Amino acid sequence: MIVTVLSNESLRPGASDLRIRADASARRPRAGQFAHIACGDALLLRRPISLCDEEAGVWRFVFEHKGPGTRYLAARKPGDTLDILGPLGRGFTCEPEDLPTLLVGGGIGVPPLLLAARRLAGTAHAVLGFRAASLAVLTDELASLCARTAFCSDDGSLGTRGFTDAVARRLLSETAYARVLACGPRPMLRAVAGAARAAGVPCEVSLEERMACGVGACLACACRVRAGAEETFRRVCLDGPVFDAETVVW
Amino acid sequence: MDMNRDVNMAVPFAGLTFQNPVAVASGTFGFGREYGLRFDIGRLGAVCVKGLTLRPRAGNPPPRVAETPMGMLNSVGLQNPGAEAFLRDELPFLRGFNTLVIANVSGDTVEEYAALAGLLSDGGVDMLEVNISCPNVKEGGLLFGTDPRSAAAVTEAVKRRASVPVMVKLSPNVTDIAEIARTVESAGADALSLINTLMGMRIDIRTRRPILHRGMGGLSGPAVRPVAVRCVYQAARAVRLPIMGMGGITCAEDAVEFLLAGAHTVAVGTALFKDETAPLTVLDGLDAYCRANGVSDIRTLTGAMIIDS
Ligand SMILES: Cc1cc2nc3c(=O)[nH]c(=O)nc-3n(C[C@H](O)[C@H](O)[C@H](O)COP(=O)(O)OP(=O)(O)OC[C@H]3O[C@@H](n4cnc5c(N)ncnc54)[C@H](O)[C@@H]3O)c2cc1C
Ligand SMILES: Cc1cc2nc3c(=O)[nH]c(=O)nc-3n(C[C@H](O)[C@H](O)[C@H](O)COP(=O)(O)O)c2cc1C
Ligand code: FES
């Protein structure tokens, strides 16, 4: 669909906060789903960006400027149009339950957890980690959308010094959770999945892989998973990006 | 010509009739289920399905794709569920649409190609597309397509077992594409398709490692189009076989170049990844091109390039 940019602001140096109005016919996005966004005529491939938030048909994307695609997106002005496919993929399980859900986000993996927190209607707990306070995004908003929030950073400039999995491990030992939903760099996901397994709590992780079609047709975005006794490749774009952590072959 | 008169879009091709000359390229369209949710597959001339092998194949580890200037490298590595699972689980779905189904096949040995030809023609596909040009697997693949004798051996073996027309898909990674085209024609092929991807490579200068897990991959998209048009032109001059042209087609104007160079039909692949309805954009654009240029029958464009001497 061709959508109009409503706003596009800098969140911090090197990161943008872009809002668009989706078509009335678009499906309502689930947390963990993504949009596949065309980045101008000069770039052949679309770029996958997670839905960070959705309210009344306004979709929000928060992204870091990595290369030409995300730089193109960062340069869009209100009133410009964007060519977007989505919402695509399988999202997080976000049902409010008797026990709270624990959200664990690292770095630019944090944005999709905002929509998860919103869908969980204020009941979630969150652990958010960044390399440094200067690289943090969405901390205040997540704190206000969650019942409990803990921060950490590699250098101690935000919250406790250390990694999210250590904080998650502590919370998992103190509180009974319905499930863990995690998004961030792969080593973090693996460690968080280990912590959840040790606590006997189901865990879902959002994986990244380079994509072409984004809709399941080209098999570019393979990730290795266990299906029964066998290992096979699944498509991050259609079978994921969110997977049951127990099936992922790290 | 009267702008309101219908343009004849139907194309006879290796004993079959394409309702129009626009197909989708193998490996870019899966088995149609995903794009089938997005547009009417029944409008296509043909669907070339993802490359099939005798046994299921897991494919290569990721990363499998890297962007290049107006192109992309892929090294999917023929991930597919195997020919039997295709016939059981996928062909009935594709049969629900008014389009030709072309089974793209790859083998590690001549015997495997022959077995696939028997299995799939008995299973009810309309045509075989023999992939002797895949750069993304260790054995077979490209090897068969770069050596004329092997190309002839595969073609003959497939022809012996096939009860449907056989189209052989050529690689651009050869010194003389006309020679391979002639060899495959003599070996009994009913049609040619070209081009498959061009071997390429990208290196991440930060990590000093190749971007693709397998190092090299196949280049497709607009970046290869002039190479593809040249290959079609050379092949068309070398043989009498009908040709399905492909490589970087994104719009009708691109497709017309292939027709003028000597293609009878065209396939759209990589363009789908940017524009999900690219094949229909090409089809509708061809109709408009014909109307605007007084072309009443699309077939008259084939090989109609003018060379001033
Ligand atoms: C499901 C999913 C959701 C994502 N959500 C977000 C998000 O909310 N915010 C955010 O900042 N980033 C997100 N990313 C990462 C984002 O897609 C990449 O940063 C972006 O594609 C980089 O494009 P580029 O042209 O700026 O950079 P380049 O590095 O120049 O890109 C070159 C090519 O590699 C691909 N690529 C590079 N990095 C990645 C990556 N990490 N994952 C997948 N493909 C990559 C690009 O798509 C492009 O095809 C997500 C990735 C996936 C798979
Ligand atoms: C992701 C991808 C997978 C492909 N898989 C196959 C395949 O299985 N068999 C085959 O014969 N060609 C395969 N191809 C090659 C295409 O069918 C086509 O020949 C080539 O991409 C050039 O056309 P295009 O530029 O329009 O994509 C693949 C191409 C891509 C991009
Ligand atoms: S990107 Fe094509 S299958 Fe996932």
pLDDT at B15 over 80: yes
pLDDT for the residue numbered B309: 81
| Confidence category of residue A97, pLDDT binned at 50, 70, 90 | confident
Mean pLDDT within B52-65: 96
pLDDT for the residue numbered B168: 97
Query: Treating both helix axes as pointing N-terminal to C-terminal, what angle do B110-123 and B148-161 enclose, rounded to 10 degrees?
Result: 30
* Domain residue limits, chain A: 2-88, 101-206
pLDDT at B1 over 90: no
pLDDT for the residue numbered B133: 79
Closest residue by CA, ligand 2 atom 15: B196
Residue in chain A closest to B27 (alpha carbons) equals: A218
Query: Treating both helix axes as pointing N-terminal to C-terminal, what angle do B177-186 and B225-238 enclose, rounded to 10 degrees?
Result: 50
pLDDT at A52 over 70: yes
Rounded distance from Cα A210 to ligand 3 centre (Å)? 8
Q: Terminus-to-terminus CA distance in chain A, angstroms?
A: 35
DSSP per residue, B264-305: SEEEE-GGGGT-TTHHHHHHHHHHHHHHHTT-SBGGGGTT--
- From A34, A88, A213, A223, the mutation candidate for ligand 3 (largest count of ligand atoms within 8 A of CB) is A213
pLDDT at B4 over 70: no
pLDDT digits (tens, 9 = 90+) for B152-184: 999 999 999 999 999 999 999 999 999 999 999
pLDDT digits (tens, 9 = 90+) for A15-30: 999 999 999 999 999 9
Identify whether B307 is part of a domain. Answer: no
Identify whether B5 is part of a domain. Answer: no
Rounded distance from Cα A36 to ligand 3 centre (Å)? 11
Find the domain containing B159 and state its range. 11-301
Q: Ligand 1: residues within 6 Å at CB?
A: A 34, 45, 47-50, 62-64, 66-70, 108, 111, 208-210, 241; B 67
pLDDT for the residue numbered B136: 63
| Confidence category of residue A59, pLDDT binned at 50, 70, 90 | very high
CATH of A101-206, one of 3.20.20.210, 3.90.1150.10, 3.10.20.90, 3.40.50.80: 3.40.50.80
Q: In degrees rounded to 5, what are phi and psi of residue B176?
A: -135, 95
Rounded distance from Cα B27 to ligand 2 centre (Å)? 5
Residue of A7 and B134 predicted with greater confidence: A7
pLDDT digits (tens, 9 = 90+) for B102-125: 999 999 999 999 999 999 999 999
pLDDT at B140 over 60: no
Ligand 1 atom nearest A61 alpha carbon: 8
pLDDT averaged over every residue in chain A: 96
DSSP per residue, A192-246: HHHHHHHHT--EEEE-----SSSSSSS--SEEEEEETTEEEEEETTTT-BEEEGG
Domain containing residue B100: CATH number: 3.20.20.70
Contact between residue B73 and residue B66 where contact means Cβ atoms under 8 Å apart: yes
Closest residue by CA, ligand 2 atom 3: B27
Domains contained in chain B, number: 1
Q: So what CATH class is A2-88?
A: mainly beta
B38 touches chain A (CB under 8 A): yes
| Confidence category of residue B12, pLDDT binned at 50, 70, 90 | very high
| Confidence category of residue B129, pLDDT binned at 50, 70, 90 | very high
| Catalytic residue, candidates B134, B231, B251, B290 | B134
Residue A176: partners with Cβ closer than 8 Å, 6 or more residues away = A99
Report chain B residues whose CB lies below 8 A from the CB of A238.
Answer: 34
pLDDT averaged over every residue in chain B: 95
Mean pLDDT within B67-78: 97
Taking the whole predicted model, whether its pTM rises above 0.80 is answered as: yes
Q: Ligand 3: residues within 6 Å at CB?
A: A 211-214, 216-221, 235, 237
Query: Which range among A222-231, B120-129, B220-229, B231-240 shows the weakest confidence by mean pLDDT?
Result: A222-231
| Separation between Cα atoms, residue A8 and residue A60, nearest integer Å | 10
| Separation between Cα atoms, residue B127 and residue B111, nearest integer Å | 19
Chain A contact probe: residue of B35, B274, B281 with most A CBs at under 10 A: B274
pLDDT digits (tens, 9 = 90+) for A119-155: 999 999 999 999 999 999 999 999 999 999 999 999 9
- From A211, A223, A225, A239, the mutation candidate for ligand 3 (largest count of ligand atoms within 8 A of CB) is A211
Q: Ligand 2: residues within 6 Å at CB?
A: A 212, 218, 220; B 25-28, 50-51, 74, 76, 78, 104, 131, 134, 169, 196-197, 220-221, 224, 246-249, 268-271
Mean pLDDT within A48-69: 97
Residue type, B165: P
Neighbours of A170 (CB within 10 A): 14
DSSP per residue, B24-45: E-TTSSTTSTTGGGTS-GGGSS
Q: What percent of chain A has pLDDT over 90?
A: 96
Catalytic residue flag (residue B134): yes
pLDDT at B139 over 80: no
pLDDT at B132 over 80: yes
Which of A210, A217, A222 minimises the CB distance to B29?
Answer: A217
| Confidence category of residue A95, pLDDT binned at 50, 70, 90 | confident
Ligand 2 atom nearest B48 alpha carbon: 17
Identify whether B87 is part of a domain. Answer: yes
| Confidence category of residue B85, pLDDT binned at 50, 70, 90 | very high
| Separation between Cα atoms, residue B114 and residue B120, nearest integer Å | 10
